[in-house]
Amino acid sequence: MVKYKLGVICWTVCCLLALTYNLGAQQRQSDSMRLKQYLRNKHIADSIQKAKSEAYKAYKKPSVNVVTYDSKGNKVEHGMDHTGRKTKTTTYVVPAVLNRPFSPDTINKDSVQLKVYKSKYRLQVYHKGHLLTAYKCVFGPNCTQQKMQEGDRRTPEGTFTILNVKDHDKWEKFMLLDYPNEESRRIFENAKANRLIPESARIGGNVGIHGIWLNGDNVIDMKHNWTDGCVALKNKDVAELSQIIRAGATQITIFP
């Protein structure tokens, strides 16, 4: 009888242990499934948030920078998004060198170099490597393009030497450049070879720096390009500039 009771007790304990184990296994399986589901949902939520963040950054990030110049010659950079809406405007202030006064008697003509920036409508004067002063200037109607042939009314780009400085009855002064030089001829021949200009085209010449007609300074201020390819300054500016030029030596570099 005692053995029978012990057997019943052992069987009962085993059943309880088995039941407890099964319940624990089910609980562990349920917890594991909940954890997997949580991680899956979190991954989906993180992916959605990342996609939204990247899309927002792409929308806000300027895709185009438009550069202009204000009335003082400062560079103004406009950031534009993909819709064309302005997102940011940055102004880069240039030093106040426009028509900065100087004494021609203190200038070593052999240390003068000129730089022209067609896109800025500026002629800058350097003395011993330092920016001395700057003048407003204009060009031919097609000033943004490189000169290729006679009659295209484009201002040539490159480095040239000022051959001579002469008085001019209409434009105050005329400083003749050594256009066409070797580089100009190479550009001209390449244009012909690539059929960009007619075979009968001529390279042209008589390009220089000069003033403007009497009381015509407002044309320079309005950036009205009217020459046949020369660089035009106000008369008082070209007269001042002519005092520090060494004919046959002073170089001028013209940039787009």
pLDDT digits (tens, 9 = 90+) for 46-76: 777 777 677 666 555 555 677 776 655 567 7
Provide the pairing of β-strand 112-117 with 251-255: parallel
Stretch (H or E) spanning 218 = helix 217-221
Residue-level pLDDT at 50: 76
Question: How many CA atoms does the CB half-sphere of 150 hold within 13 Å?
Answer: 9
Taking only the tens place, the pLDDT of each residue in 127-136 is: 999 999 999 9
Distance of CA 10 to the CA centre of its chain: 90
Query: Does residue 151 carry a pLDDT above 70?
Result: yes
Q: Which domains does the chain have, with CATH numbers?
A: 60-94 (no CATH), 104-255 (2.40.440.10)
Please state, rounded to an integer, the average pLDDT across all residues of the chain: 82
Residue-level pLDDT at 219: 93
Average pLDDT over residues 229-251: 96
pTM assigned to the model: 0.63
| Burial of 138: CB neighbours in 10 Å, binned 0-12, 13-18, 19+ | buried
Taking only the tens place, the pLDDT of each residue in 82-129 is: 666 766 778 766 556 788 889 999 999 999 999 999 999 999 999 999
Q: Which structure tokens are listed for 84?
A: 């064309």
CA atoms 244, 246, 251, 256: torsion sign: positive
Average pLDDT over residues 182-197: 92
Residue 250: C-alpha distances to residues 49, 113, 173, 246 (Å): 63, 6, 16, 5
The answer to whether the peptide bond before residue 180 is cis (omega within 30 degrees of 0) is: yes
Q: 166 forms bridges with which residues in the sheet?
A: 174
Q: Which structure tokens are listed for 141?
A: 């109607």
Report residue 16's pLDDT band, with 50, 70 and 90 as the boundaries: low
